[in-house]
Amino acid sequence: MKKNFKKLSACALVAVLGLSCTVHPVHAEKTEAVMQSDTDEILELDQTAVPMEKSTDIESKSTPEQENEKVQKVTNEPVGMVQAEAIENIGGQEDESQEQMEAVNALLSARASIIDISDVDANITQSGDYMITGTATSHKIIVSDGVTANITFQNMNLKSPNGNLKISSNAKVYITLIGENIIQASQDGFGDAVNIADNAELHFTEQSTGSIKLHGASNYWGGGTAVKGGNLYIHGGTVTMIGGNKVKNDYGKSYDVNSIIVTGGIINCYAGGFNSTIPGDCSATYQVFKTPVPEFTAIKTANSIIVNLTNYQEPYGEVYYKLDDGNWGTNNTFSNLRANSSHIVSVQYAGQGSYTQSDEVQHTISTNNATYKITIPATTLIVGKLESTSTISASKDEPFDLGYQGQVDVTIKNDGNVTDDAKLKLTRQNDTAKYIVTSALLVNGKALGNVNTSVATFKANTDNGVNVCFAQPTETNIPVGDYKGTITFEILYSEK
């Protein structure tokens, strides 16, 4: 809280016993209080997303909580093709040269445990990096409980009778696709291509450059499901999910999971088919895009922050705003704030249709300092003349910007020149005895009465000013002479 001081020097003169007295002007200062701050400041905010990196992996993985925040859930059973346009990623470019990809693949191969599915089942019991290749008609891929596995599928073709990829309880599997891959349950039997435990996760990473076809079993009482169970995340690659054909009951589903979250890639979903080809019916095309993070500027006052979006487009859906640890809302103005207070402003695009929910952007923004101007004219006042007044007022021509419940008070400085009951001490000039009389300070014609009481209070520059003057001294037998006194006003800003 800052204090600014202004001084009004007044000449108080008393004429006694009918004698004429000469007024000796005393130096008077015109004083003002201005608390300066930048007004209407525009704050440019930088949108820089920093991906999480893993030193021995070609992919970046986020926690499920982070992914659940930044994307929208896709309802079960989409029918058709999902084509994602190339979008510039924050923190890097999506397209990489062929040389870069070859180098990455070579590094991955060198560091990962390589499994040829043609020879054995892929039983993954420990967390780590793996590469699976080869062709098989009888083997499986099983990820044990609680394992976190980074797996690269490179031109893998797995067509077992039933249950090909099983992800056990609490496991997290991050698959990067290279080349063309297939996991297909029997087309003359039963089973699902991929089975995920309810509390497990399957991710197709954004580093995927290849494709995979996932096909449920066909030609049984009911078709098998391509992906069934827990939580599915698709961030890249081309993922085709096809439910199995039926003999008697229902077609198989392309997926039947607790949740599916899509942030990128090309996704094809079909219910019921005989093989890993795209059926000619029940198809539609739509696109899924990763919504960019919000970009915005902030317009600030001493009591508010207004968020102004600079990259919003209607397809991004509703915009949600949050101040500090408050609740999300759709109002872009945060008001009733303290002056010069720091706040965390969060913004997020909800996404809609083919656009996923964006990442949340946070930035620390401070409100402006309080700004005001109080004036006290440099006027010499004569004691006992009510028409000899001075007006204390807030300038209407200068910025007046206060924080929430802010006010500017003009008070008397208790420096010994004024009594406790707000009477100015007047000292006889050229008097070695320094004879003193007192004169009450009148505010709008009434005695202030207490030195600690505000002379004037301003909450807006439209508030009326106050007139101050000095009453006739009430002492008796006052010696003849010139009497002078000085009163100093303090200006204090506060927020209740």
DSSP 234: E
Q: Matching CATH topology for 3-36+370-495 and 42-48+292-366?
A: yes
Return d(Cα 151, Cα 129) in angstroms, integer. Answer: 6
**Domain 3-36+370-495 has what CATH class?**
mainly beta
For residue 98, the model assigns a pLDDT of 57
Angstrom distances, CA of residue 109 to CA of 56, 117, 165: 11, 15, 21
Each of the 496 residues of the chain gets a pLDDT tens digit; together they read 433 333 333 333 433 322 222 223 333 333 333 333 333 332 232 333 233 333 333 344 444 444 444 333 333 333 333 333 332 333 334 445 555 555 555 554 445 689 998 888 899 999 999 999 999 888 889 999 999 999 999 999 988 765 589 999 999 999 999 999 988 876 555 578 888 998 999 999 999 999 998 877 655 444 567 788 888 898 899 988 877 654 434 445 566 777 778 878 888 877 654 333 333 333 333 445 678 999 999 999 999 999 999 999 998 999 999 999 999 999 999 999 999 999 999 999 998 877 778 999 999 999 999 999 999 877 889 999 989 999 999 999 999 999 999 999 999 998 999 999 999 999 999 999 999 999 999 999 999 999 999 999 999 999 999 999 999 999 999 999 999 999 999 999 999 8
For residue 19, the model assigns a pLDDT of 24
CATH superfamily of the domain spanning 42-48+292-366:
Immunoglobulins (2.60.40.10)
Return d(Cα 81, Cα 269) in angstroms, integer. Answer: 6
For residue 227, the model assigns a pLDDT of 83
Asked whether the beta carbons of 256 and 231 are under 8 A apart, the reply is no
For β-strands 285-286 and 113-116, DSSP reports them as unpaired
Return d(Cα 432, Cα 439) in angstroms, integer. Answer: 21
Whole-prediction pTM: 0.51
Angstrom distances, CA of residue 439 to CA of 1, 93, 384: 32, 79, 8
For residue 184, the model assigns a pLDDT of 82
Asked whether the beta carbons of 217 and 225 are under 8 A apart, the reply is no
Residue found under tokens 């990096």: 129
The full set of domain ranges for the chain reads 3-36+370-495, 42-48+292-366, 71-286
Asked whether the beta carbons of 123 and 145 are under 8 A apart, the reply is no
Return the structure tokens found at 103. 């180098």
Asked whether the beta carbons of 200 and 229 are under 8 A apart, the reply is yes
Asked whether the beta carbons of 309 and 316 are under 8 A apart, the reply is no
- Report the amino acid identity of residue 380: T
- Report the amino acid identity of residue 379: T
Closest to 349 (Cα-Cα) out of 328, 335, 325, 323: 328
Return d(Cα 372, Cα 393) in angstroms, integer. Answer: 11
For residue 266, the model assigns a pLDDT of 83
For residue 2, the model assigns a pLDDT of 39
SS3 466: strand
Closest to 30 (Cα-Cα) out of 9, 13, 11, 12: 9
Residues paired with 261 in a beta bridge: 73, 233
C-beta atoms surrounding 442 within 10 Å: 17
